[in-house]
Every structure is written in structure tokens, then in C-alpha cells.
Structure 1
Amino acid sequence: MELISPTDLIFLLGESREHPMHVGGLSLYELPDGAGPDFVRELYEDVVAIEDFQPTFRKHPATLLGGVANVGWAYDDDVDLDYHLRRSALPSPGRIRDLLELTSRLHGTLLDRHRPLWEAHLIEGVPDGRFAVYTKVHHALLDGVSALKLTERTLATDPEDTEVRAPWALAPKMRSRSSAASPVNRLLRTVTDTAGAVAGVAPSTIKLARAALLEQQLTLPFGAPKTILNGKIGGARRVAAQSWPQDRIKRVKRAAGVTVNDVVLAMCAGALRAYLLERQALPDTPLIAMVPVSLRSEADAHAGGNQVGAVLCNLATDLEDPALRLATISDSMAGNKKVFAELPKIQAMALSAALLSPLSLVLLPGVVGNTPPPFNVVISNVPGPRQPMYWKGARLTGNYPLSIAMDGQAVNITLASNADQLDFGIVGCRRSVPSLQRLLGHLEDALKDLERAVCD
């Protein structure tokens, strides 16, 4: 049995019916030229035949003698693939609205802890001769970056490559020397590294305090206003998804002298501002976004577990001028990232943990309703494939990441690059964030406003 790491244990202990703790993804594929009516069925049969399961896809929380749970991982030697891989179809005539409604229901249900913590759904009947794949995996097994990289490795850049690969059969692409060590050595290394991090933070305390507080370069939690997005949530979810050409976003980037991520954050800021305005719920002070930042090196890009840091960003939703809003967002991100850039990775993770620690308070009764939120929304930009990708010749036309909503954080916006486009996936509480799909229209309007403000 393998002990569950403290980071991964947080996602297990924090899960409830109202707070499913899995990350997911909705992928759209275009059938290859000449594909027959049985293409999806044959693809399903090819995938079912792949029964080589890597350890990540065989494990679930173990229950020890005496009923003690969530201490270690148990590994299934015989995975029931018929349970984990499911074939579905939309009611005819299938619409994208029907696909998103099905995905919303699937994303709101808990994974069975008595089985390995993942599912995949192959969905037929999507309009325009397409099919879809919805996958979900518990955040205790993989973070969003790892999950996306695994999916990417099942695909090919050559449309003539018809080999079918499945993510559960793919071994980690790279293994560091430490990952090959014995469990005892890995545990000792973890204890040593953690002790070193604690000791290492002390000498940089004065430097951090000066940078973060005196120079006000670091946005700190609990400076966010309370909004309708920051109350208690239910367990049902609604998802929305749409793609935008990268050329449009890069045109704004070049004209304003900012980063692509700055433009993305400004799009989200404009959309949230418009959504709250139409509900007469826009606060006078700016919304604050938590922006995850990957702390992985190339050597561990495909490893399991979680290596994610975070910065807080001023979204400037109190400003009506989209150009000024973009400039404010860019300045906020640059100042926050400067603080992290001056720290070793393990200390940067410790600082991220301090910024995210208020999220643990949502588990305490009455906290969400009686305290200001640490931040208002999570916005994550995940790197994806840079060129067209294919699965048995079927072209990947959309790859929408879907993440986690929780008490005090009723909306999550995650996007991934996909060849020449950016694919946005939005997850929200079905009850407390009505008409979630309107955010898609507001994102388009926000991008148009930025184009007029800085490009014309």
C-alpha cells in the first residue's frame, strides 16, 4: 500500500456531494473522410481491447482494518473496463446543447471510491458528423496539466496514423532518478525537502514582506468583494464551452504589448463584469481571480500528482474602459509573478499554499456566508497541442477542460490551447449561477471591445 500525499489527501477529504473533486474534459472529433457509419463503434472496440493499466488508473483509496479510510492507495489488479469506459448517444437530432446538458450531468456526479477514480464516455450523435469524448479523473490522481498531457499523447499529428491509444495504458514519458527510488527513499526525500523548504522560507521572509507589502506587488487573499459567485453551492453543475481563434487574441496582445494570458484574463474580466451588470450585482471594487501556475519542470511534466502554484490577479472589473482594464490586469500579473520568480520552486509552492489556504475554511460551517471571499473566481490557462491532432484519423476540433466549483467559488473558467485556437470550458453551480451559458456571449463581446480599444 502506498501512503496518500498531504496535497492529494486534501482533494479526498474536501469532497462531498456538493463538492465533486474531479477534473474533466470534453473533446470533440470530426470523422475522417470516408468513415463509415460504424466508425465510432469500431473505435470503441479498439479502445476496449487495450487492457494494460498503468498504476495511476488502477488505484483508489484504501480502507484499513478498523474502517480507517483515506490513508493509503489500494491498487486493483483487475480493472472493470466496461464500467469505466461507457458508450452513449445524444437523442436525435443531436445538438450541441444536448451534448453540454449530458456533460453537465456527468460532471456533477461523484466517482465511486471503491473503484479506480476515473471514467471515460464515448458519445455519438453529435451534429455535423462528429463524436465526443468526456473524461473525468479525481484531482487526487492527476492535476489538469497532467490529464491534458496524457490525452495529448493518445493522439497523433499524422491523420494517416490509425493506431488507437488509451491514456490508461501510457506510462510516464520521463522518469527522474528519484521516481525510481524505493518507497522508503522517496519518503525520506519528501521529509528532507519539506524541512528544507520550511528552513528556506525564513531567510526570504524580509525580502518577501518588502516586495509583497511595502511595494504592494503581491495581491493577497481576502481583498476580494463578495458577489453572487461567492456563496454556498449545490452539487449539480452546468458547463459551457466555446473556442476562439488565437490570431484574434494575439493581435490584441501585440497591439497592447501584453501577454496572451493577460488578454485571456481581460476577456474573462469583461465577461464577468457584463454578467454581473445584467444581474445588477457588480460590486464597486474589482474582482480578484486566482490564476494557477504550473511549477513543473520538463523532467516531471508527465508525472502524476499535483505541482501547481497560484497567483492572485486584480481583474479591474470596476473599470469601464477595456484598454485600461487590460493594462491594470497586465500590471497585476507582472507584479505577482515577479515575487514568485525570485523564489526556488519549493518555496514558491509554499507561498502558493499560503495564498490558497483560505480555501480550507469553506469546510467549516458558516464561514462562506460570514466572511469575505479570498478571491472571486479561478481562471486557468493550460498549454495544449500546438498543431492539429488526430485519433484514428478523426480530427480533434475542440478540447474543453472542465474543472472544479466549490463553496465560495461557484464558477471556474479553464481554457486550453488547441492548434490555432483557444478552447474555453466553464463550470458553474447550476443553482447559484443561472444562465451560465451567457458568459460565452459576454466573452465574445469582451474580445470585440478589446479589439476596438487597442487594435483600431
Structure 2
Amino acid sequence: MTRIERLTPTDLINLYVESPTSPARVGALVLLDARIELPALRRRVADRVSSVARLRQVISRPRWPGGRPIWVDAPNFDVDRHVRECALPSGERLTDLAVRLTNQPFPHGQPLWRMWLVNGLPGEGAALVFAMHHVVADGLTTIRMFTALADDHPVLPSPRPQPMPTWPALVRDNIASRIAALRTLRRPRIETWRQMAGLRHAPRTSLNGPVGARRRLDVVTLDLRRAKTAAHEHGGKVNDIVLALAAGGLRALLRSRTERTDDVRLHATVAVSLPETGAAGEGNRTGGYAMRVPLEPDVRRRLHQIARESADAKRRQAPTAGNGLLIALSRLGVLRWFSRRQRMINFVESNVAGPPMPMRILGATIRDVIPIGTVVGNMTIGFLALSYAGKLIIAVQADADRHPDLPVLLAAMCREADQLAIRAAPEEVRLRVSRSRV
């Protein structure tokens, strides 16, 4: 019997929220300490991708009443179409190339992912840019999929190809799933919605506005062990460190624009991973909670305040409450309209735990993994943190045209990281890779 794999309501959020200038993407920029060859990389991907169903599948939309879109095996899947090589243009930063590649449209009718090998970097290193549509995976799942390419990762058996489900089978499955959904309806958590209602009026700042097409990606790198120690000393967790530095950077940015920061508490959506319900390591399993982020001038007091705020928000809110609102808006067909006009949230933040030990791909050691995310709607800046091999990498992704003064934010984040003594040693930071113009 053919297994029917439908897009989840959370998947559909990521499908419907994007626009031509703000594609929903997740990915990573991976820095290697040695060059690798394209044919060898394609063979490695071909060997490993067969065990990850989503990388071989496309979206099919059944006619009514066949239900939500489904995942089906792509006809004539060819790894060579997805794994390519490119050069770093003269004068372009590697991070800028990565976000430009990540936001390129995916060819119609093919699985929604791409990988680029970037050789010819200064020194002996290389880079990989891995990009997927957000409907395929969230940040954690993206890292899991990528680690399947590591030298020491086991080669898993390939599942049998699945034929396209018949239309009667889709109709029966749709009816059964709707009946099951009605049976599992639960009363909403009143306290959760009450908490979210209190956040519906975010401070009016220049952080919110129409998101354009150009992106900028910059990185602040911390020592993970020292970040954990600093967080615990202030009653918080590593994610509170990320939020505290983000708030300090945003405070400096807004002050440089002569915007009010005293007694201002920005509103943030903090992403969290949900328990797995489907195939292990596949799909979107992201929820989140909304919280107020103080712009207290002193970083230590701010960190302590944020630790209290985040603990309170997690205690009061279900991590799926925000998803429920977005799912309802997507079903009404107004999600994109809402995302461009919402006044609840100023910025987004996420933190993904990556591999604790260094990995190797085709003999090359992975030095750094920089997460790449989505900037959509009217939230023009986001903070994505990823821990890898003893480092905590905070990627700041922003609308390049709305934030030409982003270095002000980055300088403040680095300055406050130094005050907390959690910044990675200079020799550990190798992320500013670019080629000079000739």
C-alpha cells in the first residue's frame, strides 16, 4: 500500500508566507580547511541523499477533494542538477555570495534544494553552500541532513520508491484525517492566548518595514563553554546570551538612528524545536514563544532580565500557540498579507545545537558552520545561532537596503561579548573570506 505523506500545516506556513522578493529558505555556509573535488562531492551526495526522502521528493497538489499537498518521488532525479560548483566573484564576501545563492529560485518540478561547492578561496580552503526551501525542513533538520554527508556517518539503506497515490486513496485519506482532527480538538490554552494578546502592540521602530530582495549576512563567534558559564552565572541559558547580545546590538543601532531606546522592550519570536512526530530527521518541527526583550544599557543586568523574561514566557506559552495563529491565517488565505503588516513582533531569533565535535567531508575538516535563514514579511532582521565544535556562531541576517548601518549593531555585539569574556579567540574566527578586486 502506498504511503501518503502530506505537507503538515506547519509546512504550509512556510510555503504560503514567502513572496518573490522574500523566499522562504534555510541553509548553511560551511567552511572547509581543504579543497575537495566536485565529482567526489557528487558521488558522496548521491550515496547519502537516497536515505533522506525529502531530498528526492517534490510537491504534488491533488485536485479537490484530495486534501493537502503531498510529497511524491521526483521523476528522473539527478544529483548533478543539484550539486554544482561556482567561484567567489572578485570583491564579494563569501557570506554575501552564500545568501545570494540561497535565495535563488528553485527550478520547477525538481526537489527544493541545492548545494554549491566554492573552490578557489584564499589559502587552501573551500566552502559549501547548502540551501533548501523552508517547506522541506527547519534549521535543525537542515543540519541533520547536512551531517549525513560526513565521513563517519553511516550509509543508510535506501527506501523503496513509492508510486503516486491514487486519487480515491487521497480522498479517503483526506476524509479520515479531517475526522481524526475533529476528534483531537482541544480547548485553547486561555492563558497562552492571553499572554500573546499582551504582545500584540510591539514598539514602533525602523526594524519593521517591507522586506526587500537584497540580504546581508554577518557573523559573531563566541566560545560555547564560556557562553554557557556566563549564562548560568546570570540564571539563564545559552539562548539568553544570544538574545542579550542581539538586544545590545539593536539598542546601539536604534540609538544611532536617534530612535528611543530608554525603557523600550522589543518583542521577539524565539524558535524552539518540537518533538518528532514523523520520519526522524525530516520536516518542520519548529514552534516558538513570544517575549519582551529589554534594551537595558548594562549587558549583565540585561542578561539577567532576559533570563527571567524567557523563563516566564516558556512557562506561560505553549510552543505551538503561534503556529496555531499562523495556520489559521494561512487557511484563510491572508498569511502573507498579515506578515507584511503585523505589529506584534520586531525580530526573530533561533538557536540550533549542532555537532559537538569537528566533522570531516571527503577528508576536509569542517571549520565553521554558519546558519542561513529566512527574512520575510515586515521583520527585516533576524538572529540565528548554531553551536558547532565548541563555538557558538550567531548569524545576523538582515535586509541589506534597510540596514546599511549594520556594522553599528555588529560592533556593539562584539563589544558586549568581550565584556562578558565569551568571544572566540581571534585565531578561531575565519569567517571574513573575500577576494580582492584586481
**For this structure pair, what is the TM-score category when the shorter chain's length is used for normalisation?**
0.7 to 0.9
Aligned pair 1:273/2:273, yes or no? Answer: no
Instruction: Name the CA shift for 1:250/1:221 in 2 (closer, same or farther; >3 Å).
Output: same
Give matches, 1:201-350, under 5 Å: 201-202=187-188, 204-205=189-190, 208=191, 213=194, 220-284=198-262, 285-297=264-276, 302-317=280-295, 319-340=296-317, 348=318, 350=320
* 8 Å CA contact 2:99, 2:217 repeated in 1: yes
* 8 Å CA contact 2:25, 2:132 repeated in 1: yes
With normalisation by structure 2, the TM-score equals 0.80
Name the residue aligned to 1:134. Answer: 129
Q: Distance in 1 between matches of 2:302 and 2:411?
A: 19
Which letter maps to 2:315? K
What is the CA-CA distance between 1:406 and the residue it aligns to? 1.1
* 8 Å CA contact 1:12, 1:70 repeated in 2: no
Instruction: Name the CA shift for 1:387/1:11 in 2 (closer, same or farther; >3 Å).
Output: same
Secondary structure of the structure 2 residue equivalent to 1:379: strand
Name the residue aligned to 1:198. Answer: 185
Q: Distance in 2 between matches of 1:312 and 1:272?
A: 17
What is the CA-CA distance between 1:86 and the residue it aligns to? 0.8
Instruction: Name the CA shift for 1:145/1:48 in 2 (closer, same or farther; >3 Å).
Output: closer
Name the residue aligned to 2:21. Answer: 18
What is the CA-CA distance between 1:260 and the residue it aligns to? 1.4
Name the residue aligned to 1:385. Answer: 355
Q: Distance in 1 between matches of 2:100 and 2:128?
A: 14
Cα distance per residue 1:201-260 (max 9 Å; x no partner):
35x54xx36xx75xx6x6843231122121001122222234221133123123323211
Q: Distance in 2 between matches of 1:98 and 1:379?
A: 24
* 8 Å CA contact 1:12, 1:21 repeated in 2: yes
What is the CA-CA distance between 1:332 and the residue it aligns to? 0.8
Instruction: Name the CA shift for 1:261/1:304 in 2 (closer, same or farther; >3 Å).
Output: same
1:75 to 55, 73, 76: 73
Secondary structure of the structure 1 residue equivalent to 2:13: helix
Which letter maps to 1:323? R
Name the residue aligned to 2:429. Answer: none
Aligned pair 1:408/2:385, yes or no? Answer: no
* 8 Å CA contact 1:310, 1:355 repeated in 2: no
Name the residue aligned to 1:85. Answer: 83
* 8 Å CA contact 1:379, 1:414 repeated in 2: yes
Name the residue aligned to 1:420. Answer: 390
Q: Distance in 2 between matches of 1:338 and 1:431?
A: 37
Instruction: Name the CA shift for 1:154/1:321 in 2 (closer, same or farther; >3 Å).
Output: same
Instruction: Name the CA shift for 1:358/1:224 in 2 (closer, same or farther; >3 Å).
Output: farther
Name the residue aligned to 1:344. Answer: none
* 8 Å CA contact 1:358, 1:374 repeated in 2: no
* 8 Å CA contact 2:26, 2:132 repeated in 1: yes
Deviates more, 1:288-297 or 1:426-435: 426-435
Q: Distance in 2 between matches of 1:420 and 1:231?
A: 36
Aligned pair 1:430/2:400, yes or no? Answer: yes
Which letter maps to 1:385? P
* 8 Å CA contact 1:219, 1:313 repeated in 2: no
Cα distance per residue 1:153-208 (max 9 Å; x no partner):
3224xxxx5x897xxx8869xxxxxxxxx989986785466335422x35x54xx3
Q: Distance in 1 between matches of 2:329 and 2:302?
A: 27
Name the residue aligned to 2:430. Answer: none
What is the CA-CA distance between 1:286 and the residue it aligns to? 1.3
Q: Distance in 2 between matches of 1:273 and 1:105?
A: 28
Q: Distance in 1 between matches of 2:283 and 2:251?
A: 35
Secondary structure of the structure 2 residue equivalent to 1:378: strand
Name the residue aligned to 1:396. Answer: 366
Q: Distance in 2 between matches of 1:197 and 1:431?
A: 46
Which letter maps to 1:57? L
Which letter maps to 1:116? P
The size of the alignment, in residue pairs, is 404
Aligned pair 1:112/2:82, yes or no? Answer: no
Give matches, 1:177-188, under 5 Å: none
Instruction: Name the CA shift for 1:51/1:256 in 2 (closer, same or farther; >3 Å).
Output: closer
What is the CA-CA distance between 1:407 and the residue it aligns to? 2.1
With normalisation by structure 1, the TM-score equals 0.77
Deviates more, 1:81-90 or 1:379-388: 81-90
RMSD (Å), alpha carbons: 3.5
Which letter maps to 2:385? L
Instruction: Name the CA shift for 1:333/1:55 in 2 (closer, same or farther; >3 Å).
Output: same
What is the CA-CA distance between 1:75 and the residue it aligns to? 2.7
Which letter maps to 1:442? A
Q: Distance in 2 between matches of 1:4 and 1:247?
A: 38
What is the CA-CA distance between 1:98 and the residue it aligns to? 2.4
Cα distance per residue 1:252-298 (max 9 Å; x no partner):
1233232111112111111111122222234452111100111124x
Aligned pair 1:125/2:120, yes or no? Answer: yes
Which letter maps to 1:436? L
Which letter maps to 1:143? D
Q: Distance in 2 between matches of 1:70 and 1:101?
A: 36
Stretches of structure 2 that go unaligned for 5 or more consecutive residues are: 160-168, 423-438
Q: Distance in 2 between matches of 1:6 and 1:196?
A: 17
